[in-house]
Chains A and B, each alone.
Chain A
């Protein structure tokens, strides 16, 4: 029986920049930052109130895992903003929106009332996007 999701990936273009974005801008907690060879780190973060979920800030570059053709294609798609990484939940979407905007986070959509609730969309430093929604958004449907 599956019980939990514990580790998942966010493909990023640059680990230093991703560290700054996820830790300093989004306020995620650093879990591991362990060097693994010359240019790679095992870099994981958790949402502040979810310590048992690690997001691996996974660098896309030519490696055993990504042959050049694959890495190039993936980098291109990430930069195009193709990948939605999921929903992040906050207590107050307007305050969170204003705070992230003040920190320079790029929003694709400000807090907007949709038929399914209120949401905003923002991009990370690589081009991945997230939906930002208030807690209990699913209860707020008209």
Chain B
């Protein structure tokens, strides 16, 4: 027999999730994490402990990880390292660069250059990125629009 699980303390989950969504929405702003625990109606200590139980990271660690993920996205889209750094809420290029390299395993500029090359290859030889079976079944090899896909 299936039962809808009465999961422990729904309201606690909702507050923790709301705090996570707040970070997701405002990661680029100057977020005061103390305010988040206030908004979640917890003591700071209790809040950090619950957040870490659910997400495996403290709110501060989660904020940093979110900023790095968003910076990776901006770099993949072609933004400069400094635009990505300040665009996700870091104040200092050197602290961003150090954190990025530790988190990603390569420097932001190497990561950006790799994806710049990748974008150029996709623009010039898009079919190289599509399994041939899909291209064939779609008739994309015969598609002159696609042959001219070059910005």
* Interface residue ranges, A against B (CB under 8 Å): 7, 32, 34-38, 40, 42, 56, 63-65, 91-92, 94-95, 98-99, 102-103, 110-115, 118
B109 at the interface (CB under 8 A from A): no
Contact B149 A113 (CB under 8 A): no
Contact A36 B4 (CB under 8 A): no
User: Which A residues lie within 8 Å of B55 (CB)?
Assistant: 91-92, 95
Tell me the nearest residue of chain B to A64, going by C-beta. Answer: B139
Tell me the minimal C-beta distance from A14 to chain B in angstroms: 17
Bound Cα distance A114, B5 (Å): 9
- Which of B3, B14, B18, B55 is most buried by chain A, counting CB atoms within 10 A of its CB? B14
- 9 A-B pairs with CB atoms under 8 Å apart are A7-B131, A36-B130, A42-B130, A64-B139, A92-B55, A98-B14, A99-B20, A112-B2, A113-B5
- Which of B5, B13, B18, B146 is most buried by chain A, counting CB atoms within 10 A of its CB? B5
B137 at the interface (CB under 8 A from A): yes
Tell me the nearest residue of chain A to B17, going by C-beta. Answer: A98
Residue of B4, B21, B130, B143 touching A110 (CB-CB under 8 A): B4
User: Which A residues lie within 8 Å of B140 (CB)?
Assistant: 36-37
User: Which B residues lie within 8 Å of A63 (CB)?
Assistant: 138-139
Contacts A34-B122, A110-B4 hold; do A95 and B130 have CB atoms under 8 A apart?
Answer: no
B54 at the interface (CB under 8 A from A): yes
Bound Cα distance A135, B11 (Å): 23
Bound Cα distance A97, B129 (Å): 34
Residue of B2, B54, B122, B137 touching A113 (CB-CB under 8 A): B2
From residue 86 to 140 of chain B, which have CB atoms closer than 8 A to chain A?
A: 122, 126, 129-131, 134, 137-140
Residue of A35, A102, A114 touching B21 (CB-CB under 8 A): A102
Q: Interface residues of A: mostly helix, strand, loop or mixed?
A: mixed
Bound Cα distance A40, B4 (Å): 41
From residue 12 to 61 of chain B, which have CB atoms closer than 8 A to chain A?
A: 13-14, 16-18, 20-21, 54-56
Please list the 3 inter-chain residue pairs (A to B) with the smallest Cβ-Cβ separation, ordered nearest first: A98-B17, A64-B139, A37-B145
Bound Cα distance A102, B22 (Å): 12
User: Which B residues lie within 8 Å of A37 (CB)?
Assistant: 140, 143, 145-146
Bound Cα distance A98, B2 (Å): 20
Contacts A111-B5, A112-B3 hold; do A34 and B130 have CB atoms under 8 A apart?
Answer: yes
Contacts A95-B17, A98-B13 hold; do A118 and B56 have CB atoms under 8 A apart?
Answer: no
Bound Cα distance A56, B55 (Å): 28
Tell me the nearest residue of chain A to B133, going by C-beta. Answer: A7
Residue of A65, A112, A118 touching B137 (CB-CB under 8 A): A65
User: Which A residues lie within 8 Å of B126 (CB)?
Assistant: 34-36, 42
Bound Cα distance A36, B3 (Å): 47
